[in-house]
Amino acid sequence: MNVEYVAMTLRDQRAEFIARRFAPYLKGRVLDVGCDRARLKQLVPGIQYFGIDVGGTPDLVVNLEKERLPFPDRSFDCIVCSDVLEHLDNFHENFSELARVTAKHIILSLPNNWANARKAIERGRGQFSHYGLPAEPSADRHKWFFCLTEARDFVEARAPRHGLSITEMFAVEKPRAPLLRWLRQCRYPNQDAYLNRYSHSLWAVCSRTA
């Protein structure tokens, strides 16, 4: 699997990456699932944009824990769903809904939770984002804990069931010095082990074939 080196610590940086990296797919009617403040709308002029979320400034408030996507089959040319499904109990059902509503493409990202947890587990102390047991309930809690290769296997298994093929799939890793990357690759020559340890997210473009 290819690896791209990108820093995306903020939501706006992720929206900028999507607008730049996936520009060929962002045409026509675009549904932004988990749109937050709809930053993507500002970055990609000329599209028919529609954003949904439970917070932020969406065009429509939709709680995907309780509701299906309120749109007809194949009603959007492209759907963007970046780091959303892991927050939902009904992960599989919502992937099916994305497939139902797209006419052409789904741009999907899923986090590699192993990379976030690795250092805290090795040290035997500390916390990692979106998990743990905070004193107050978290509004940004993940409900699934999986590694990058599990995310890859999920997409590869589920996409064909909905008439989708995988047009692109790659891992994203934080930019590091070339020497450090080389040393890590020497220590973990098995690519899956390396990806699960160091890559922070999986990105895929699923395109309709049927």
pTM of the model: 0.94
Place of tokens 């994203």: 172
Residue 43: pLDDT over 90: yes
Query: How many distinct structural domains can be found in the chain?
Result: 1
Domain of residue 132: give its range.
2-208
Structure confidence at residue 132 (pLDDT): 85
Mean pLDDT of all residues in the chain? Answer: 94
CATH of the domain at 9: 3.40.50.150
Q: How many helices (H) and strands (E) would you count in the chain?
A: 7, 8
Structure confidence at residue 92 (pLDDT): 97
Residue 118: pLDDT over 90: no
**pLDDT tens per residue across span 175-206:** 999 999 999 999 999 999 999 999 999 999 99
The answer to whether the CB of 203 falls within 8 A of the CB of 169 is: yes
Please spell the DSSP secondary structure of 51-109, one letter per residue: EEESSSS-SEE--TTT----S-TT-EEEEEEES-GGG-TTHHHHHHHHHHHEEEEEEEE
In angstroms, rounded to a whole number, what is the distance separating the alpha carbons of residues 190 and 27? 38
Which range has the worst mean pLDDT, 71-85, 95-109, 124-138, 158-172? 124-138
